[in-house]
Amino acid sequence: MGPPTAQFRRVAARTGPAVTLRFDGVSIAATAGDSVLAALLQHGTLLRRLEFGAEPRAGFCLMGACQDCWVWSSAGGRIRACTTPVAEGMELFAMPQASFDRPAEESGRG
Amino acid sequence: MTGRTTDVAIVGGGLVGAWTAFFLARRGQRVTVLEKGVVGAQSSGVNFGNLRLQGRFPGQYPLSLRSQALWEEFEALTGEDCEFEQSGHLYLAYDAEEHARLESYAEVSESYGLAIERLEPADLRRRWPWLGQQAVAATFSARDATANPRLATPAVMRAAARHGASVRENTRVVDIGRSGDGFTLALANGETLSCGALVNSAGAWALEIAERFGETAPLFPAGPPQFVTEPFPYLIAPSIQAIDGSVIFRQIPRGNVILAGYPRTAADPQANRAPVPPAKTLAAMRALARVAPVLAQCHVIRVWSGIEAYLPDMIPVIGPSQTTAGLFHAFGFCGHGFQIGPGVGACLSEMILDGGTQTPLAPFGIGRFRSATQVSEKFRKEFD
Amino acid sequence: MADPVIVGAGPAGIAAAEVLCAAGLRPILIDEGARAGGQGYRRPAESLALDMARLMGSEARKYAALHRRFEALLPRIDYRPGTLVWAIDGDTLHLLRDGRAETLCFDRLLIASGAMDRIAPLPGWTLPGVFTLGGAQVALKDQGCLIGSRVAFLGSSPLLALAAKQYREMGAEIAVIADTTALRAKAAALPALLHAPRTLARGLWYMAASLRAGTKMLHGAVPVAIEGSERVEALLLHDARGRERRFACDAVALGYGLKPETQLADLAGATFVYDADFRLFLPKIDGMGRARPGLYLAGDGVRIGGADAAEASGALAAHAILSDLGRPAEIAVTRRLARRVQRLRDFQRGLARAFAWPRAQIAALDDAVTLCRCENVTVGAVRASMARDLGPAEVNRVKAITRCGMGRCQGRVCGPALQELVAAECGGDGLAAGRLRGQAPVKPIALAAAMDGS
Q: What is the 3-state secondary structure (H, E, C) of C93-137?
A: EEEEECCEEEEEECCCEEECCCEEECCCCCCCCCCCCEEEHHHHH
Of the partner residues B151, B230, B277, the one whose CB lies closest to the CB of residue C89: B277
Let me know if residue B44 belongs to a domain: yes
Contacts of B287 (CB under 8 A, 6+ apart): B242, B246, B247, B261
Kindly report, residue by residue over C162-185, the tens digit of the pLDDT: 999 999 999 999 999 999 999 888
Summarize pLDDT for B260-279 with one digit per residue, the tens: 987 777 788 777 778 889 99
Give CA–CA dist A11/A19, Å, rounded: 19
Taking 90 as the threshold, does the pLDDT of residue A77 lie above it? no
The share of chain B scoring above pLDDT 70, in percent, equals 98
Give the residue-averaged pLDDT of B29-51.
94
User: Residue B229: beta bridge partners?
Assistant: B300
Among the listed residues B114, B87, B117, the one whose alpha carbon sits nearest the alpha carbon of residue B102: B117
The answer, for A110 touching chain B at a CB cutoff of 8 Å, is: yes
> H-type helices in C297-366, by residue range?
306-324, 331-354, 359-363
C259 phi and psi, to 5 degrees?
Answer: -130, 140
| Amino acid A98: pLDDT | 66
A8 vs C261: CB contact, 8 Å cut-off?
no
Q: Checking DSSP bridges between strand C109-111 and strand C295-297, what pairing results, if any?
A: parallel
d(CA C177, CA C160): 7
Q: Mean per-residue pLDDT for B14-32? A: 98
pLDDT of residue C201: 65
User: According to the model, what pLDDT value does residue A2 have?
Assistant: 46
Task: Tell me, yes or no, whether B211 and B325 share the same domain.
Answer: yes
Where is the domain boundary, B305, B335, B353? Answer: B305
Q: Among residues B281, B305, B329, which one ends one of the domains?
A: B305
Nearest residue, CB atoms, A9 vs list C48, C49, C146: C146
The fourth-level CATH superfamily of domain C5-116+259-351 is FAD/NAD(P)-binding domain (3.50.50.60)
Q: Do residue B291 and residue B155 come from a single domain?
A: no
**A14 phi, psi to nearest 5 deg:** -115, 135
Taking 90 as the threshold, does the pLDDT of residue C78 lie above it? yes
Q: Do residues B105 and B55 make contact, with C-beta atoms less than 8 angstroms apart? A: yes
B151-200 pLDDT, tens digit each:
999 999 999 999 999 999 999 999 999 999 999 999 999 999 999 999 99
Say if residue B138's pLDDT is above 80: yes
Using a CB-CB cut-off of 8 Å, the residues of chain C touching B296 are 446-448, 451
> Would the CATH topology of C5-116+259-351 be identical to that of C359-433?
no
B56 found inside a domain: no
Mutation site, C39, C55, C141, C145, interface A, largest A CB count within 10 A: C145
Cβ separation C49–A58 shorter than 8 A: no
- Asked if C410 and B301 come within 8 Å (Cβ–Cβ), the reply is yes
Distances (CA, A) of B145 to B54, B56, B87, B239: 11, 14, 6, 8
Q: Is residue B254 in some structural domain? A: yes
Q: Indicate if B164 and B281 belong to the same structural domain.
A: no
Q: Which residue of B has its CA nearest to C88?
A: B278
Domain identity same for B322 and B207: yes
Position C415 confidence tier, pLDDT thresholds 50, 70, 90 = very high
Please report the residues numbered 88 through 107 in chain A whose beta carbons come closer than 8 angstroms to any beta carbon of chain B: 96, 99-102, 104-105, 107
Is B84 among the domain residues?
A: no
Q: Both B233 and B297 in a single domain?
A: yes
Q: How many domains does chain B have?
A: 3
Nearest CA in chain B to A79: B297
For chain C, the structural domain boundaries read 5-116+259-351, 119-256, 359-433
Label the pairing between strands A18-23 and A91-93. Answer: parallel
Confidence tier at A105 by pLDDT (50, 70, 90) = very low
User: Which of C294, C378, C392, C304 has the alpha carbon at shortest distance from C341?
Assistant: C304
- Rounded mean pLDDT of chain B? 93
Whole-structure pTM value: 0.94
Residue B73 forms part of a structural domain:
no
DSSP state of A35: B
Rounded Cα–Cα distance for residues C309 and C348 (Å)? 10
- Mean pLDDT over residues A35-46, rounded? 97
Averaged pLDDT for residues A82-100:
89
CB < 8 Å from A in window 267-296 of B: 294, 296
Shortest Cα–Cα distance, A39 to chain C (Å):
9
- Angle in degrees, CA C367, C372, C373, rounded to 5: 110
Is the domain covering C359-433 a CATH 1.10.10 domain? Answer: yes
Picking from C365, C366, C364, C373, the residue whose alpha carbon sits closest to that of residue C411 is C373
- Domain residue ranges of chain A, discontinuous segments joined by +: 18-96
- Interface with C, mutate which of A37, A41, A66 (most C CBs under 10 A): A66
Number of Cβ within 10 Å of residue C328's Cβ equals: 8
Examine residue B33 and state whether it is found in any structural domain, yes or no: yes
Residue C428: per-residue pLDDT = 67
d(CA A110, CA B237) in angstroms, rounded, equals 9
Assess whether B198 and B160 both reside in one domain. yes
- B138 and B118 in a common domain: yes
C421-432 exposure pattern, b = at least 16 Cβ within 10 A, e = fewer: bbbbbeeeebee
Of C116, C144, C407, the CB nearest to A12: C144
Mean pLDDT, range C387-402, rounded to an integer:
94
Q: How far is CA B339 from the centre of its chain?
A: 5
pLDDT band at C189 (very low <50, low <70, confident <90, very high): confident
Window 9-28 of A: residues touching B by CB (8 A cutoff) are: none
Q: Of B108-117, B210-219, C186-195, which gets the smallest average pLDDT?
A: C186-195
Whether residue B2 has pLDDT greater than 60 = no
Cβ–Cβ gap C447/B288 under 8 Å: yes
Cα(B27)–Cα(B9) distance, rounded to whole angstroms? 15
- Domain span at B29: 6-49+150-218+312-382
Q: Which of A86-100, B318-332, C179-193 has the lowest mean pLDDT?
A: C179-193
- CA nearest C39 in A: which residue? A63
Region of C327 on the Ramachandran plot (φ > 0 left; ψ -120 to 50 alpha; else beta): beta
Mean pLDDT score, C124-152: 97
pLDDT of C368 strictly over 50: yes
* CATH number for the domain running over A18-96: 3.10.20.440
Residue of A nearest to B240 (CA): A108
Question: What single-letter DSSP state applies at residue C328?
Answer: P
Q: Do C450 and B286 lie within an 8 Å CB cutoff? A: yes
Residues B347 and B212 in one domain: yes
The pLDDT assigned to A73 comes to 92
pLDDT of residue C298: 98
pLDDT at residue A106 tops 80 = no
The SS3 of residue C297 is strand
**Which residues in chain B are contacts of C413 at CB distance < 8 A?**
none
Q: Which of B287, B305, B323 is the last residue of a domain?
A: B305
Q: Which amino acid is at B269?
A: P
Select from C32, C143, C230 the Cβ nearest to the Cβ of A35: C143
Which of 125-144 (B) contact A at CB < 8 A?
A: 127-130, 140, 142
> What is each CA distance from C387 to B271, C398, C427, in whole angstroms?
29, 11, 12
- Residues B187 and B126 occupy one common structural domain: no
CATH number at C119-256? 3.50.50.60
Nearest Cα neighbor of B129 from A107, A84, C281, C141 is A107
Looking at the complex, does the CB of residue B298 fall below 8 Å from at least one CB of chain A? yes
Comparing alpha-carbon positions, the chain B residue that sits nearest to C451 is: B286
* Whether residue B328 sits in one domain with residue B203: yes
The rounded distance, in Å, linking the Cα atoms of B291 and B257 is 13
Say yes or no: B231 contacts chain A, CB-CB below 8 A: yes
CATH number at residue B295: 3.30.9.10
Contact C148, A4 (CB under 8 A): no
Q: In this complex, which chains have at least 3 CB pairs below 8 Å with chain C?
A: A, B
Interface check B115 vs A, CB under 8 A: no
